[in-house]
């Protein structure tokens, strides 16, 4: 364990609040929504107790939360907000503005299903819907990762070669409300790690006046701006890895774009993200102990999508199952991870069979039995060289 | 002496237990609205549109058609209903977070357009459902989970008075603030609810009733202490009264 760290038993929202306290952003603007609420409450208490210097704005909606965040970030301040589900949906127009203005806002989003019908439990439909908004999206498996990702997000977002907003994703209730063992770093270690934000451009710099987000006109540079955003995303592959490695030095926990388990000798594998990775890992390890040649990939970065590296990692497999906690409603195209992974494989000569399991919508539990069912079907596909059904709904009442 | 039944559960209110906390006034507000619906015999043509908050389960209790609206959007959803179904009676039922925070613009513009709907507004000075955060109606100095040492006007502004704010708009035909903390006040509240629906039945425009309500759970007070708080503090910031009552249509 890193010097000065301490081990605590806290829920996911507290892990995020602790990270925020240590980051100590200039401004936090937020509106409460289950299951994110405790972050707003705990941070308000920290502000009221003078533990941080942040301005805390209890705005009237998420639309205003992101607007205030954009305003503050445009001055060159370090800014955070947090939300969930309907709140993220209400931020929609601002999400694109934050990334278009290249404002390095960091936002934990506690994944929760979108209405209708109203459902407060976990799925990834909220943040997956924002996948084309130009934000970096990092998924967490547990409270520890939510904490670690929040701290790293600041560095990634503010990297001069990136300057993109970052969403840190943690599963509603499963992570946000479960008590977990979390190693908290020393305050000073985190302060040094995130450092001071030195924006290249900011409003109110009297010697270098700028205007932000202007009307681009018919013959403007909109297209070029958008191309630059893509370039920033491309740069982020390297930076996410660098920051993850550097974080390993201060914490003993290194991070990359994804993590692999048993892929060296596996014949088939499961790709999964979020808290389900913990359950899947447990089953994968149990099966491997019995000699079953299964492996797994836990995806951390969904944006940017590490297409090339993922394709490389699975190209040798006979069959791969992709677990998606959301759906695209594209007409049996499967979930977003499946679609993107399938697309990543297109140019390969040799590629595995690919099968999709949509699971856990609206908080439906992913039991060990369901994982085993999928694993058995996967093993059969690997053996026979045939996929019975590409798009499957795991745990659906039919 | 033969006993006469003088009080029954309104027909429009289904005979099931409320999920509300003990001492919460949501239940009283539900009953008053149902009584008024029975009084006018409009149950078969009334549609309720709850906002998101502790009133979100309205469909469990009101024996009528109900459509859920996203947080804050009930007046806009109600507008859609009323324009297409002008013969129906449309009401929204919204908390202070729903109506005064996130849905402020919807209610103002719906009122300003003079939509012929009725808005029932539950002012309990907190976001009850999400666990007692500051609402725009939170009293100065009131402790909430986001104002742990009390609301400070320098950073959180002042309590918003919705009835007074909406009343001057031309589209508003009726705006009143009532309270549910004593039997006398409940009687007055009943009259306001009746008048608000009467206005809609007569196509006179937008009608609005604000109820001062207790949230014992998030105020951290017993039901009795809540009543004292409403009487002693809440009435100071939120004076009761009818702020508009248009007579002609
Ligand atoms: C867009 C969006 N943001 C946040 C929420 C979370 N939320 C649900 S109810 C509520 C506050 C409800 O407070 P109020 O309207 O005062 O109702 P009460 O429970 O006090 O009656 C909030 C913030 C949501 N459902 N949707
Ligand atoms: S939390 Fe407050 S508003 Fe909600 S039911 Fe309980 S007392 Fe009523
Ligand atoms: Mg309220």
From A15, A25, A27, select the one nearest A57 (Cα to Cα): A27
Distance, CA of B82 to CA of B78 (rounded, Å): 6
- Contact between residue A359 and residue A324 where contact means Cβ atoms under 8 Å apart: yes
- Six-digit token string for A373: 């069912």
Q: What is the pLDDT of residues B119-175, one digit of tens each?
A: 999 999 999 999 999 999 999 999 999 999 999 999 999 999 999 999 999 999 999
Clarify whether residues A239 and A276 are in a common domain.
no
B146 contacts chain A (CB < 8 A):
yes
Helix A368-384 crosses helix A276-289 at what angle (to 10 degrees)?
Answer: 60
Clarify whether residues A35 and A118 are in a common domain.
yes
Partners of residue A58 in chain B, C-beta under 8 Å: 133-134, 146-147, 156
φ/ψ (deg, to 5) at A109: -120, 120
pLDDT score at A200: 82
Per-residue pLDDT at B1 exceeds 80: no
Give the Å distance between the CA of B96 and the centre of ligand 2. 12
Note whether A58 contacts B147, CB cutoff 8 Å: yes
Give the pLDDT band of residue B249 (cuts 50, 70, 90).
Answer: low
Note whether B131 contacts A56, CB cutoff 8 Å: no
CA distance B231 to chain A (A): 27
Partners of residue A61 in chain B, C-beta under 8 Å: 72, 101-102
A268 inside domain: yes
pLDDT score at A79: 98
pLDDT score at B154: 97
CA distance A36 to chain B (A): 10
| pLDDT tens digits in sequence order for chain A, 398 residues long | 888 999 999 999 999 999 999 999 999 999 999 999 999 999 999 999 999 999 999 999 999 999 999 999 999 999 999 999 999 999 999 999 999 999 999 999 999 999 999 999 999 999 999 999 999 999 999 999 999 999 999 999 999 999 999 999 999 999 999 999 999 999 999 999 999 999 887 777 888 888 888 888 888 999 999 999 999 999 999 999 999 999 999 999 999 999 999 999 999 999 999 999 999 999 999 999 999 999 999 999 999 999 999 999 999 999 999 999 999 999 999 999 999 999 999 999 999 999 999 999 999 999 999 999 999 999 999 999 999 999 999 999 98
Give me the domain span that covers residue A169. Answer: 6-184+220-251
Superfamily of domain B26-245 in the CATH hierarchy: Thiamin diphosphate (ThDP)-binding fold, Pyr/PP domains (3.40.50.970)
Distance, CA of A281 to CA of A275 (rounded, Å): 10
Clarify whether residues A123 and A271 are in a common domain.
no
Give the Å distance between the CA of B102 and the centre of ligand 1. 8
Clarify whether residues A240 and A331 are in a common domain.
no
- What are the Cα distances from residue B184, in Å, to A307, B8, B223, B244? 69, 19, 17, 21
Q: Domain tally for chain A?
A: 2
Clarify whether residues A117 and A65 are in a common domain.
yes
Clarify whether residues A56 and A111 are in a common domain.
yes
φ/ψ (deg, to 5) at B126: -150, 165
Give the Å distance between the CA of B49 and the centre of ligand 3. 16
Clarify whether residues A359 and A381 are in a common domain.
yes
CA distance B148 to chain A (A): 6
Burial of B5 (0-12, 13-18, 19+ CB in 10 A): exposed
Q: What's the average model confidence in pLDDT over B195-212? A: 98
A209 inside domain: no
Most A CBs within 10 A among B102, B137, B157, hence the mutation to make, goes to B102
pTM of this prediction exceeds 0.95? yes
Query: What is the complex's ipTM, to 2 decimals?
Result: 0.95
In chain B, where are the structural domains located? 26-245
CATH code of residue A60: 3.40.50.970
A189 inside domain: no
A91 inside domain: yes
Ligand 1 is surrounded, with C-beta below 6 A, by A 31-33, 62, 86-87, 90; B 51-55, 71, 95-98, 122, 124, 126-130, 135
Give the CA radius of gyration of chain A. Answer: 21
Give the contacts of B147 (CB within 8 A, at least 6 positions apart): A44, A48, A58, B134, B138, B156
A130 inside domain: yes
CATH code of residue A332: 3.40.50.920
- Contact between residue A240 and residue A301 where contact means Cβ atoms under 8 Å apart: yes
pLDDT score at A209: 86
pLDDT score at A317: 98
Clarify whether residues A34 and A104 are in a common domain.
yes
pLDDT score at A330: 97
Q: What is the pLDDT of residues B37-54, one digit of tens each?
A: 999 999 999 999 999 999
Q: What is the pLDDT of residues B67-122, one digit of tens each?
A: 999 999 999 999 999 999 999 999 999 999 999 999 999 999 999 999 999 999 99
Clarify whether residues A228 and A373 are in a common domain.
no
Percent over 70 (pLDDT), chain B: 100
Ligand 2 pocket: which of B55, B60, B123, B216 to mutate (most atoms <8 Å of CB)?
A: B216
Q: What mean pLDDT is reported for chain B? A: 97
A193 inside domain: no
pLDDT score at B149: 97
A381 inside domain: yes
A210 inside domain: no
């Amino acid at each position: 364990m890193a010097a000065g760290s301490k081990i605590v038993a806290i829920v996911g929202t507290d892990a995020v609040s602790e990270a925020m306290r240590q980051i100590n952003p200039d401004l936090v603007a937020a509106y409460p929504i289950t299951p994110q609420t405790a972050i707003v409450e705990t941070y308000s208490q920290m502000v009221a107790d003078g533990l941080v210097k942040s301005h805390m704005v209890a705005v009237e909606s998420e639309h205003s939360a992101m607007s205030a965040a954009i305003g503050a970030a445009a001055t060159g301040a370090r800014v955070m907000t947090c939300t969930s589900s309907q709140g993220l949906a209400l931020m929609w127009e601002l999400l694109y503005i934050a990334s278009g203005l290249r404002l390095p806002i960091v936002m934990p989003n506690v994944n929760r299903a979108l209405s209708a019908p109203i459902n407060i439990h976990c799925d990834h439909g909220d943040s997956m819907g924002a996948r084309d908004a130009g934000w970096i999206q990092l998924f967490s498996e547990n409270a520890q990762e939510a904490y670690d990702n929040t701290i790293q997000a600041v560095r990634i977002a503010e990297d001069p070669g990136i300057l993109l907003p970052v969403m840190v994703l943690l599963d509603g209730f499963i992570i946000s409300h479960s008590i977990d063992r979390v190693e908290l770093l020393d305050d000073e270690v985190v302060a040094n790690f995130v450092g001071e934000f030195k924006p290249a451009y900011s409003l109110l710099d009297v010697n270098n006046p700028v205007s932000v987000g202007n009307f681009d006109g018919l013959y403007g540079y909109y297209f070029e701006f958008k191309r630059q955003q893509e370039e920033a995303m491309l740069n982020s592959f390297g930076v996410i890895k660098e920051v993850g490695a550097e974080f390993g030095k201060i914490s003993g926990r290194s991070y990359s774009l994804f993590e692999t388990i048993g892929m060296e000798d596996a014949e088939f594998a499961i790709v999964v993200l979020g808290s389900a990775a913990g359950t899947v890992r447990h089953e994968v390890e149990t099966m491997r102990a019995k000699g079953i040649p299964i492996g797994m990939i836990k995806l951390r970065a969904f944006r940017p999508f590490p297409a090339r590296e993922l394709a490389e990692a699975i190209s040798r497999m006979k069959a791969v199952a992709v677990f998606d906690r959301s759906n695209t409603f594209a007409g049996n195209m499967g979930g977003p991870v499946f679609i993107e992974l399938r697309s990543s494989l297109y140019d390969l000569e040799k590629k595995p069979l690919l099968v999709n399991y949509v699971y856990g919508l609206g908080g439906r539990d992913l039991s060990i039995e369901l994982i085993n069912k999928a694993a058995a079907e996967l093993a059969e596909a690997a053996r026979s060289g045939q996929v019975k059904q590409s798009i499957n709904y795991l745990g659906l009442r039919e | 002496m033969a006993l006469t039944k003088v009080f029954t559960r309104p027909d429009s209110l289904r005979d099931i237990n409320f999920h509300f906390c003990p001492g919460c006034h949501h239940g009283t507000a539900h009953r008053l609205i149902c009584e008024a619906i029975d009084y006018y015999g409009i149950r078969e043509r009334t549609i309720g549109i709850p906002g998101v908050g502790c009133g979100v389960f309205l469909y469990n209790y009101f024996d009528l058609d109900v459509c859920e609206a996203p947080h804050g959007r009930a007046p806009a959803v109600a507008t859609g209903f009323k324009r297409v179904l002008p013969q129906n009676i449309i009401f929204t039922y919204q908390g202070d977070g729903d109506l005064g925070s996130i849905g402020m613009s919807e209610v103002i513009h719906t009122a300003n357009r003079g939509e012929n709907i009725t808005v029932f507004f539950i002012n309990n000075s907190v976001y009850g459902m999400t666990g007692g955060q500051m609402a725009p109606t939170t009293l100065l100095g009131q402790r909430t989970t986001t104002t742990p040492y009390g609301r400070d006007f320098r950073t959180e502004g002042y309590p918003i008075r919705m009835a007074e704010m909406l009343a001057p708009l031309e589209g508003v035909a009726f705006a009143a603030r009532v309270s549910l903390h004593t039997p006398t006040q409940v009687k007055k509240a009943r009259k306001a609810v009746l008048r608000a629906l009467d206005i809609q039945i007569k196509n006179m425009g937008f009608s609005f009733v604000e109820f001062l309500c207790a949230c014992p759970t998030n105020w951290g007070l017993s039901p009795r202490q809540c009543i004292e708080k409403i009487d002693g503090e809440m009435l100071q910031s939120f004076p009761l009264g009818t702020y508009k009552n248009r007579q002609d249509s």
